[in-house]
Amino acid sequence: DTGVSQDPRHKITKRGQNVTFRCDPISEHNRLYWYRQTLGQGPEFLTYFQNEAQLEKSRLLSDRFSAERPKGSFSTLEIQRTEQGDSAMYLCASSYGTADSNQPQHFGDGTRLSIL
Amino acid sequence: SQKIEQNSEALNIQEGKTATLTCNYTNYSPAYLQWYRQDPGRGPVFLLLIRENEKEKRKERLKVTFDTTLKQSLFHITASQPADSATYLCALDRGSTLGRLYFGRGTQLTVWP
């Protein structure tokens, strides 16, 4: 399967702990996105990379959140000092885009984070 | 800010009928409008994309229309089947080089035999 892969699928942690999620995009895709989805809502944009450059961050992404995409390949999303409100599904998506067009985004199955 | 409304949270129809889902948006006009399917515990799966200069797009039993005057898209599933039961998400792409998507809350479709 050459789709978007996310690890872990589930993460349970205590409030105040740090967590890190990994996303492996489709190999030929140059764009990578992180979204957050809570129950009954659509995904909300968090941040976006084109190759290794982080080009946009949502206001939802507080200073406790950091994302990286070293060498323009896989990406990690870290949440420091987790809070109850961080409980959600964290989705990663990738696509191929140019200055003239955007291709549809392909999503992974997400990491479900539960804060105790 | 962009606001996307999907007509209802839930839609129940009988197998064989046509399901019609609505997506309305305000403020900015998207360059692209996309529809995704999401099953419980899974990520969204891309179904169809329609550009602002296109009126209609079809793929097998699926049809999407895009009316930029009404700021509305309709998503149709003809000859619906129980396997079509899922949540359907509308997403707007403003067409900038950023490519971020603005999602609606989704409509949960149930097709009963």
Select from B42, B45, B104 the Cβ nearest to the Cβ of A42.
B104
**Mutation to test the B interface, candidates A105, A109, A111, A114, most B Cβ within 10 Å:** A105
Say yes or no: A106 contacts chain B, CB-CB below 8 A. Answer: yes
Distance from CA of B94 to the nearest CA of A (A): 10
Dist. CA B4–CA A92, nearest whole Å = 21
Question: Is a pLDDT exceeding 90 seen at residue A97?
Answer: no
Do the Cβ atoms of A99 and B99 come within 8 Å? Answer: no
B33-54 tens-digit pLDDT: 999 999 999 999 999 999 888 9
The residue-averaged pLDDT of A79-106 equals 90
Dist. CA A20–CA B97, nearest whole Å = 28
SS3 content of chain A, % helix, strand, coil (to 5): 5, 50, 45
Residue of chain B minimizing CA distance to A39: B105
HSE-CB of A96 using CA atoms within 13 angstroms: 4
Select from B42, B46, B103 the Cβ nearest to the Cβ of A104.
B46
Q: Quick check: B9 and B105 in contact, CB under 8 A? A: yes
Determine the number of helices (DSSP H) and then strands (DSSP E) in chain A. Answer: 0, 11
Question: Is a pLDDT exceeding 90 seen at residue A72?
Answer: no
Percentage, residues of chain B above pLDDT 70:
96
pLDDT of residue B7: 73
Chain mean position to CA B21: 7
Average pLDDT, chain A: 93
- What A56-65 contacts at long range (C-beta under 8 Å, 24+ apart), as own/partner pairs, is A56/B98, A56/B100, A60/A36
SS3 string, B18-68, reads CEEEEEEEECCCCCEEEEEEECCCCCCEEEEEEECCCCEEEECCEEEEEEC
Q: Quick check: B87 and B37 in contact, CB under 8 A? A: yes
Q: Spell out the residues 6+ positions from residue A96 whose beta carbon is closer than 8 angstroms to its own.
A: A28, A29, A30, A31, A103
Question: Is a pLDDT exceeding 60 seen at residue A1?
Answer: no
pLDDT of residue B65: 96
**Residues paired with B38 in a beta bridge:** B87
Distance from CA of B49 to the nearest CA of A (A): 7
pLDDT of residue B97: 58
Q: Spell out the residues 6+ positions from residue A101 whose beta carbon is closer than 8 angstroms to its own.
A: none
What tokens were used for B80? Answer: 């619906």
Give B1's pLDDT tier (boundaries 50, 70, 90): low
Select from B4, B49, B99 the Cβ nearest to the Cβ of A97.
B99
Do the Cβ atoms of A95 and B99 come within 8 Å? Answer: yes
Do the Cβ atoms of B100 and A55 come within 8 Å? Answer: no
pLDDT of residue B5: 83
A15-60 tens-digit pLDDT: 999 999 999 999 999 999 999 999 999 999 999 999 998 888 888 7
The residue-averaged pLDDT of B4-28 equals 89
What tokens were used for B61? Answer: 């039993």
pLDDT of residue A15: 97
Question: Is a pLDDT exceeding 80 seen at residue B87?
Answer: yes
Question: What's the DSSP call for residue B17?
Answer: S
Residue of chain B minimizing CA distance to A89: B41
pLDDT of residue B111: 97
Select from B97, B101, B106 the Cβ nearest to the Cβ of A105.
B101
Dist. CA A34–CA A57, nearest whole Å = 10
pLDDT of residue A69: 95
